[in-house]
Amino acid sequence: MEEKNIKEEPFHTADEGFVDPEGKRYHIEFKVDPKLCTCCGQCAIACPVGCITVTELSAVINHAECLSCGSCAAACVVGACTEVTVYEAE
Ligand code: SF4
Ligand code: SF4
């Protein structure tokens, strides 16, 4: 079966989020894997709205303030901060 790349085909709806070609609603979030995070703080420096706190265990993103801009993932050299697609419950 042909695999569809939803990142190449999404369109914005009037409110937040996206709809994939099969009509399922989703949004993009950025998440930190505490197992990979070295607590270097580069993501927090890169975040334009200051919504990342770095604890002694891991960086933590405040999703209520996050713009989903991706600067944190771009700044993370160990791949601990990554983009994830979150589908909304139907
Ligand atoms: S996606 Fe952007 S706004 Fe959200 S935590 Fe990362 S750098 Fe900050
Ligand atoms: S840049 Fe990556 S490794 Fe460094 S604190 Fe942020 S998530 Fe952790």
Which domains, from first to last, does the chain contain? 6-87 (3.30.70.20)
The residue nearest atom 8 of ligand 1, judged by CA position, is 47
Q: First and final CA of the chain: distance in angstroms?
A: 24
The token pair at 61 is 């993103």
Taking the C-alpha atoms of residue 38 and residue 22, their distance in angstroms, rounded to an integer, is 38
Q: What is the pLDDT of residue 12?
A: 46
SS3 45: helix
Q: Is the CB of 6 under 6 A from ligand 2?
A: no
**CB-based pocket (< 6 A), ligand 1:** 30, 46-47, 49, 51-52, 61, 66-72
Q: How far is the CA of 76 from the centre of ligand 2 (A)?
A: 5
The structure's pTM equals: 0.80
Q: What is the pLDDT of residue 15?
A: 54
Nearest ligand by distance to the CA of 34: 2
Q: Look at residues 4, 20, 5, 8 and name the one whose alpha carbon lies nearest to residue 87.
A: 20
Query: CA-based angle 36:4:85, to the nearest 5?
Result: 35
Question: Which of the residues in the chain have pLDDT under 70?
Answer: 1-16
